[in-house]
């Protein structure tokens, strides 16, 4: 079976159960937590290791998750381990998160700036996204001093690069083309 189909099926089952039991927000938080946890090298090694037996994987994961997530989320982790699909946990968490945001009418946007932005700028960008895309915006921010100034904004498949670094590259490329043409 296709990897993405596996992730989608497990996440959809969890989504339906969470919605039915009115625990969607709590399970969403759990899956965000699990997605972050799965980025840790040691956790990823446990999930992907063919050497570690399922019972040991369950003990390791439950020791971390038991006090931090809902019983419904734990039952999904248990089911994944029983079915030998624990290495799909990061993908299931990602698909669940995306599906929940879509259900709630939220569009995720990524903003990269050279320095942290003020609350007023953050609000302006969120308002612009909400008006253009007719949806609520969840803005994830990060800083990258390498862009020098300006910003890079990604919304779904849309990408706006208004960084100084990119503008300088374009100028440099234009100058090198002109210089090559004058020779």
Say whether both 156 and 131 belong to one domain. yes
Same domain, 161 and 124: yes
Q: Which of 72, 102, 132 is the last residue of a domain?
A: 102
- Looking at 69, 102, 135, the residue that finishes a domain is 102
- Secondary element (H or E) of residue 146: none
What is the reported pLDDT for 2? 53
Neighbours of 44 (CB within 10 A): 15
Same domain, yes or no, for 112 and 95? no
122 contacts: CB under 8 Å, gap ≥ 6: 139, 141
Name the token pair of 97.
């998160």
Residue where one domain finishes, among candidates 45, 67, 102: 102
Identify the pLDDT of residue 44. 93
* Confidence class for position 39, pLDDT limits 50, 70, 90: very high
Residues 48 and 73 in one domain: yes
- Say what the pLDDT of residue 174 is: 83
Q: Are residues 84 and 147 in the same domain?
A: no
Number of H helices, E strands in the chain: 8, 4
CA distances from 10 to 3, 29, 78, 83 (A): 11, 17, 12, 11
pTM higher than 0.95, yes or no?
A: no
Average pLDDT over residues 144-151: 89
By residue range, what is the domain housing residue 163?
Answer: 105-181
Residues 93 and 110 in one domain: no
Residues 114 and 174 in one domain: yes
Same domain for 37 and 119?
Answer: no
The answer, yes or no, to whether residue 179 has pLDDT greater than 90, is no
Residues 38 and 91 in one domain: yes
Does residue 120 share a domain with residue 90?
no
| Total number of domains constituting the chain | 2
pLDDT at site 86: 93
């Amino acid at each position: 079976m296709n990897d993405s189909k596996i992730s989608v099926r497990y996440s959809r089952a969890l989504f339906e159960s969470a919605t039915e039991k009115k625990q969607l927000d709590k399970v969403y938080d759990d899956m965000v937590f699990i997605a972050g946890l799965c980025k840790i090298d040691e956790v990823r090694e446990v999930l992907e290791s063919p050497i570690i037996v399922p019972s040991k994987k369950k003990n390791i994961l439950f020791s971390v998750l038991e006090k931090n997530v809902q019983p419904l989320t734990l039952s999904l982790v248990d089911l994944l381990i029983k079915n030998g699909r624990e290495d799909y946990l990061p993908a299931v968490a990602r698909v669940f998160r995306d599906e929940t945001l879509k259900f709630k009418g939220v569009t995720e946007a990524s903003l990269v700036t050279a320095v942290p932005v003020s609350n007023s700028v953050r609000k302006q960008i969120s308002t612009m996204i909400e008006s253009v895309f007719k949806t609520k915006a969840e803005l994830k921010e990060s800083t990258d001093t390498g862009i020098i100034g300006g910003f890079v904004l990604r919304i779904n498949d849309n990408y706006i690069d208004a960084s100084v670094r990119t503008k300088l590259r374009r100028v440099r490329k234009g100058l090198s083309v002109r210089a090559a043409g004058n020779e």
